[in-house]
Chain A
């Protein structure tokens, strides 16, 4: 994140703040959260209830994956019967109909399959600068989606080699993984 520069989130929030202060002034004069559409003048009611979505997700069957991240390792799973490797890791093999699935450490080398740069960001990512997302193939035959540590998409090339690093995502401060171009 760049210091002192306005992020998309700052701009979104400024815009919403302006809008809601307009709603408040309308409420004060009319006693109703009723505003005209800026373009057409059509009457709009502004919701007086608000909900925040923040999910609590069960990860108990795959908690080894997250514990290993903290140790700098990327894990996948492998079915003991058919040998299929899973990433993201899963503890059930639907083909063999059972849970004889073991943890394996994955190599942190990848070949870039495709990539994009996210310029218009979702609200919950709007505090970051534009970021590049790529999908790369590991020698184990599974693919990993992650951010690529590069600012300029024209410097990347499909087929190039990448290495995976376990990093702390800031400012949220939690472990995740990131692709880094190999010089």
Chain B
């Protein structure tokens, strides 16, 4: 419970290979945007949560390096890690610090500079993000490999095909082509995706999100401050979180992510959204499509579709604008890019702008009920964070 918390400013850099800037320079692009968006200065920010997975980048204390460069020091800061969900974890902590009444204004900054290491090193680090000793050390799984285990099981159980998976990628690139901040801004066809090489069978190159540099920032404030700053505060209506087993061998199913399912239930409950059909209320969602199969699992874990019917939403193009529920109008992780620690704030920044009717016209969702949902998974369902945003003030 605690105080109501609203998003009052967001920042989002161009995602991609950002060899034009170093880590703090990249973070500053997002921080500056967020400060200007909120009409705040550094001195107004009372606490900064920095999300960064790291390992592949040179600075081991990114929170401090960024705070110095951006003029946010000497305010308190911390770096958090929840793998690919680090960004949503940072927003949750910034939210909690404000909700508790400890500070009035806090900032979550997401940063990842993956291109500081060569691709094989990055593949190595992400592959280790599960259970290093029992699963990576002996069996050399990769991040695509972990999700491929889910793809094989899902395809076998529900009759989904590699073409179905490619249709998810086609949608991601369709909207990525309309988002100037996306890493990939070219449309693709099912044929092109099908012709791409296997990365981890049955997943191919075009089923996979890329290695990305990027920074994002979200400023949150309590109700009193938010109302002074803006006429359209975007409220955090509910956050759900859950954790899966580190060993994939300990999972009870490979056709859904249990942590994602649990986090969704928690978030819907907190936001007061009817779990029978959340698509009636939610206008737009960003889901964690690090791989095409992950987007289909997300539809089902979020109850946008019944078990086994996520693939039907893809075949019927129900997650484009005009369908049952528009998903990943940013291009998603797949086309917008996936700078691990910056992805969560990136989803929340995108949805804030969707709710404000402020994104590019050809990828703007019609906002009817004023609800948006960010589904952010860390690892392969190791961490799950779901954040529900709303234009109307939460009922307490």
Contacts and interface: CB of A to CB of B under 8 A. Distances in A.
Interface of A: 12, 16, 37, 39-40, 42, 44, 47, 57, 87-88, 113-126, 128, 131, 133, 135, 142-147, 153, 158, 169, 176
Interface in B16-35: 17, 19-20
A114 B140 contact: no
Interface of B: 17, 19-20, 58, 118, 120-121, 123-124, 127-128, 131, 133-136, 138-142, 144-145, 148-153, 156, 197-203, 247-251, 254
Given A42-B19, A131-B139, 17 more contacts: A12-B118, A40-B20, A44-B19, A87-B249, A88-B131, A88-B247, A113-B254, A114-B254, A116-B145, A118-B200, A120-B200, A122-B128, A123-B124, A133-B139, A144-B249, A145-B139, A146-B138
Contacts of A16: 118
A12 B200 contact: no
B19 A37 contact: yes
Contact of B153 (A44, A114, A142): A114
Contacts of B152: 114-116, 158
A116 B140 contact: no
A142 B249 CA distance: 8
Contacts of A146: 138-139
A57 B133 contact: yes
A76 to B, nearest CB: 12
A119 B199 contact: yes
Nearest to A144: B249
A114 B120 contact: no
Contacts of A87: 249
Contact of B140 (A40, A42, A128, A135): A128
A142 B250 CA distance: 7
B59 to A, nearest CB: 12
B142 A143 contact: no
A145 B247 contact: yes
A113 to B, nearest CB: 6
A23 B143 CA distance: 31
15 contacts: A12-B120, A40-B19, A47-B58, A57-B133, A114-B153, A114-B254, A119-B200, A120-B199, A122-B142, A123-B124, A133-B149, A135-B249, A142-B249, A143-B251, A144-B249
